[in-house]
Structure 1
Amino acid sequence: MAEHPQVSVRRTVLEGPAADADLLVLGTTRRQGQFGLQLGRVSYTARHRAACPVAVVPHR
């Protein structure tokens, strides 16, 4: 957020069906010694089946 102050971010935690989401953001970690984004089971499934855009964000 400090890197891009012009971008508005609103954090909201809601319980309910993910199908109602406008954007699904998932975190992931990078595995040592491997290149590229390694998707886990949840990230992979959400990316292929979600009805909304999915952002998979690697941990720094």
Structure 2
Amino acid sequence: MSVDGGEDGGPLIDAALTPTFDETGPLLIAFAWLTGLTVAAAVLFRRTATTPR
């Protein structure tokens, strides 16, 4: 029994090698979340790392 589902490449290989990339929206949402979390972490770190005057 093969992991990829068959002799012709199966679903794992076929899903990885599709001719088009149709996940642009979710990818952009993921990048927006990553950017937002990075900015929030930088602001919080900067706020806690600075010495009070």
**Same fold (TM > 0.5):** no
| TM-score class normalised by the smaller sequence | under 0.3
Higher share of residues assigned strand: 1
The TM-score normalised by the length of structure 2 is 0.20
Higher share of residues assigned helix: 2
Structure with more relative contact order (C-alpha pairs < 8 Å, separation 6 or more): 1
